[in-house]
């Protein structure tokens, strides 16, 4: 049992110092890990949950006509219920386990669009989408003859209601949009977007990859039609993710992958597909991953999003204040740290992001550099590439200071003098 299960009564600083001990990687490596938007680190309880599944419950779920097989099925289905409650979905069968957010988006883009889109229909995606919420729709448009249209944001990442309303036509069938941008960290008002879209009979697909790990997400309150996220960005192992979809859509949609355990009966001429969610979970599932994800959710719930947000915001405020004091640093997106949700992308004048990441790496600091799988957004912002730090609750003030100190030295290391005009 990990330390976090003790009742929380200590002051925050002490509490989070203890949290740090739940992550073995920080004891084993000299590492300032600031690439949490790419993937999070994993607490010991999650690693143990995965191992425990294989040690105590391992059988192929839904197949074994023996006790162990039933245990495996129960573990897997309990994990589904944990996710359902976490997202406030109405029914457990609205939770489909996938490999990751990308797979969930591909599932919807194939299964929904092939069935519901006609020539000349319109799909709207925002300009700030990760490629995983863009490429599946680009391809869907090509397959179905639908038109892909872009919802633009301003330099701070803000998308106005007006911009959305102006873009929607009577041919718009679907809007695919992220809840939190993986580059700017800004949050889109999904509830409002869903309301505007639903008034016009338009389906809303939300990418929760950057939001679900960091803020409470209530799909029923937001009233979005689909939501995806990846387990590995929220303390769970790689290879487990979730697609939430409203029951009435999932029931109508044809399967995405075909094979074992997604059918009721098969004949020479065809098959009767299983009801949801199993219709969308062909082949042997990642039960251990699902169980570990459920454990990650319990861990997050135990800390509580209030504490997580408070901690991540405090670290973001500190990082942005310190970074703004460094000559040549330009932070992308909003001025207000509260609009960043732990994600700070920046440029440093005269130094390419890959050189920045490389120099930081020599001080054992891990950051992301490049286009962050969001090339259209960077083009829209007029930046060819940037460096990104992304913060999690287990990061420390000391780590932010180490990063800032290292960042401050980079221009000098690259040959610029103190007096060089910026």
Residue 89 near residue 116, CB atoms below 8 Å: no
Residue 56 near residue 291, CB atoms below 8 Å: no
Toward another protein, which CB reaches closer, 311 or 372? 372
Place of tokens 């009801």: 275
379 binds another protein (CB under 8 A): no
**Bridge pairing between strands 122-126 and 172-178:** parallel
Minimum CB distance to another protein, residue 375 (Å)? 9
Distance CA 211, CA 325 (A): 28
Q: Which of 12, 51, 166, 361 binds another protein (CB under 8 A)?
A: 361
**Bridge pairing between strands 386-390 and 343-348:** antiparallel
Q: Which of 370, 396, 401, 402 binds another protein (CB under 8 A)?
A: 370
413 binds another protein (CB under 8 A): yes
**Residue 19, SS3 per DSSP:** helix
Residue 29 makes CB contacts below 8 A (sequence gap 6+) with 364
What's the Cα-to-Cα distance from 241 to each of 66, 262, 336, 415, rounded to whole Å? 28, 18, 31, 45
Q: Which of 20, 158, 352, 408 binds another protein (CB under 8 A)?
A: 352
Q: Which of 91, 115, 258, 358 binds another protein (CB under 8 A)?
A: 358
Identify the active-site residue in 45, 186, 197, 373. 373
366 binds another protein (CB under 8 A): no
Toward another protein, which CB reaches closer, 21 or 375? 375
Binding map of another protein across residues 382-411, x = CB under 8 A, - = no contact: --xx--------------------------
Of 18, 37, 28, nearest in space to 366 by CA: 37
204 binds another protein (CB under 8 A): no
Minimum CB distance to another protein, residue 233 (Å)? 22
Q: Which of 15, 116, 305, 416 binds another protein (CB under 8 A)?
A: 416
Binding map of another protein across residues 37-66, x = CB under 8 A, - = no contact: ------------------------------
Of 239, 231, 197, nearest in space to 213 by CA: 231
CA angle 407, 411, 415 (to 5 degrees): 145
Q: Is 373 a catalytic residue?
A: yes
Q: Label residue 348 left, alpha or beta by phi (over 0 means left) and psi (-120 to 50 means alpha).
A: beta
Q: Which of 371, 373, 377, 390 binds another protein (CB under 8 A)?
A: 371
Chain positions 147 to 166 lying near another protein, rule: CB under 8 A, are: none
Distance CA 21, CA 14 (A): 11
Token pair in block for residue 295:
């454990």
Q: Which of 190, 217, 351, 392 binds another protein (CB under 8 A)?
A: 351
Q: Which of 28, 268, 415, 418 binds another protein (CB under 8 A)?
A: 415
Of 244, 184, 154, 174, nearest in space to 208 by CA: 244
Toward another protein, which CB reaches closer, 278 or 371? 371
Distance CA 181, CA 184 (A): 5
359 binds another protein (CB under 8 A): yes
Residue 409 near residue 351, CB atoms below 8 Å: no
Q: Which of 18, 52, 70, 355 binds another protein (CB under 8 A)?
A: 355
Toward another protein, which CB reaches closer, 340 or 371? 371
Distance CA 45, CA 63 (A): 28
Minimum CB distance to another protein, residue 359 (Å)? 5
Stretch of 37-45, 143-151, 243-251, 344-352 lying at the interface with another protein (CB under 8 A): 344-352
Binding site for another protein (CB under 8 A): 350-355, 358-359, 361-362, 370-371, 384-385, 413-416
Catalytic residues: 373
């Amino acid at each position: 049992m990990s330390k976090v299960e003790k009742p929380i009564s200590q002051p925050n600083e002490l509490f989070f110092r203890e949290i740090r001990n739940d992550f073995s990687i920080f004891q084993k490596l000299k590492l300032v890990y600031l690439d949490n938007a790419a993937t999070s680190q994993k607490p010991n309880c999650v690693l143990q949950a995965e191992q425990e599944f294989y040690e105590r419950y391992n059988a192929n779920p839904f197949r074994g006509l023996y006790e162990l097989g039933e245990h495996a099925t129960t573990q897997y289905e309990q994990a589904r219920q944990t996710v359902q409650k976490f997202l406030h979905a109405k029914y457990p069968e609205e939770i489909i386990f996938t490999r990751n957010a990308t797979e969930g988006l591909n599932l919807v883009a194939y299964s929904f669009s092939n069935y519901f889109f006609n020539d000349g229909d319109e799909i709207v995606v925002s300009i700030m989408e990760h490629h995983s919420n863009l490429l599946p729709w680009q391809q869907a448009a090509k397959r179905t003859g639908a038109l892909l249209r872009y919802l633009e944001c301003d330099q701070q990442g803000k998308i106005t209601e007006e911009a959305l309303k102006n873009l929607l036509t009577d041919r718009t069938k679907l809007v695919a949009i992220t809840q939190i941008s993986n580059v700017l960290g800004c949050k889109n008002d999904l509830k409002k977007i869903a309301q505007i879209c639903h008034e016009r009979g338009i389906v809303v697909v939300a990418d929760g990859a950057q939001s679900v790990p960091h803020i409470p997400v209530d799909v029923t309150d937001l009233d979005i039609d689909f939501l995806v996220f990846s387990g590995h960005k929220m303390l769970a192992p790689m290879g487990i993710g979730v697609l939430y979809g409203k029951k009435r859509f999932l029931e109508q949609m044809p399967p995405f992958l075909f094979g074992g355990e997604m059918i009721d009966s098969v004949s020479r001429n065809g098959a009767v597909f299983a009801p949801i969610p199993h219709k969308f979970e062909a082949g042997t599932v990642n039960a251990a991953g699902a169980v570990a994800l459920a454990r990650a959710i319990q861990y997050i719930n135990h800390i509580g999003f209030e504490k997580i947000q408070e901690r991540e915001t405090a670290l973001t405020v500190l990082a942005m204040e310190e970074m703004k004091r460094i000559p040549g640093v330009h932070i992308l997106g909003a001025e207000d740290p509260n609009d960043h949700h732990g994600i700070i992308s920046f440029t440093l004048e005269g130094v390419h992001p890959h050189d920045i990441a490389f120099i930081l790496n020599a001080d054992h600091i891990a950051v992301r550099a490049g286009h962050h799988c969001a090339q259209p957004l960077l083009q829209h912002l007029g930046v060819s590439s940037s460096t990104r730090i992304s913060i999690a609750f287990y990061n420390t003030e000391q780590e932010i200071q180490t990063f800032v100190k290292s960042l401050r030295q980079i221009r000098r290391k690259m040959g610029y003098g103190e007096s060089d005009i910026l």
